[in-house]
Structure 1
């Protein structure tokens, strides 16, 4: 058995620790978008693979038998590439996926299908918007110069594509009290969030509920069907049940 763990999330770090504790041979893969990624207890590689074909080549060259996709729920491209590459290479694949957030009593959410729709959902009148979507898709809000934006990012960007933006550099998890104080200090009237799920970034939604602030919630992108587990224990059980790769060098004695 040789495992490739596609990571970058809290779940991926938890998975890496479990693999290390069980002394399973594994490689942790970071996309390379964060300047100071979290240290891991297993060997790490950083950077892309060159699409599905490049990933399939990597799986073969490194005798990978199992792939765990623990990337962000909105990392649709790498997840789709993993499905294609694993099918091509005959490698077993599972997704370690956190369940999405669900609105509850007191929440004021408007669901939209993508980032462009989120930008269109903001009001015509000026608003103070907590734009909690990371930095990869900020360009969709570039023309909305009537609003003031608050961004919370892990790294300070070299340039921002949107006007009237203030950046807070911080790494979660965050608490309800922290996010409520942050939103009050900036007079936030709207929150835009991706439905990433999990507990580390949930506090902004709880703070929005407490303050009566509406949330524009971007639904998750579609990803090709693949086995999904929602816990470390579930993934560990899958590792012991899933068949080894049928197309890797490991099975051909290479």
Structure 2
């Protein structure tokens, strides 16, 4: 009965973690460039026991959260008509420099020009390599290959080129919040290049990549998780009642 109590309690903890993952996915269902989290549960160790007939068996000791993986499937493209909005069609990440000087990567292409004319994200990260937009520039154009041009003093001028980063294992990237990822030993080092080359997707101006969260799928996961948590809690209560009955037999 103690094993049943422990297994059920571990199941409740695992399902609570699963609920946290589902809640985060639903909270980011409309976040540009967000990639869905998936929690993989694992079964815990098994304990051998003697069967009445003389054989042996194994009984499991519950479940535990294994790993939370990011699913990097392409999100839908939303047409915004805004010159500074750009989406990657296919593989790749925008490379940005954080305020502390470290590099990070994002799929959210809702770019902006800061007070110094530098292109970056709404939260202050700057596009890397840096691209400067002169004061008074107009008709900014971002080509599928990443080339950025604008009309400056009546002439079409090339301002720079947006490069995108690809990884051997994008699932190994670490989520850093703010729509950002950082490289890790599992993801491998970033490989920079022009969009549309070496497997990197081309850019589309005037669009944003939506979150790849499917609200319907998450609602099904929510209900399933809730039912599993409820069932585990009933096992805890039943095990507690049985232990109480067993202890009463000794009086």
Q: Provide TM-score, normalisation by structure 1.
A: 0.28
Q: Considering only CA atoms, is the larger Rg found in Structure 1 or Structure 2?
A: 2
Q: TM-score, normalised by structure 2?
A: 0.28
Select the structure that is richer in helix: 1
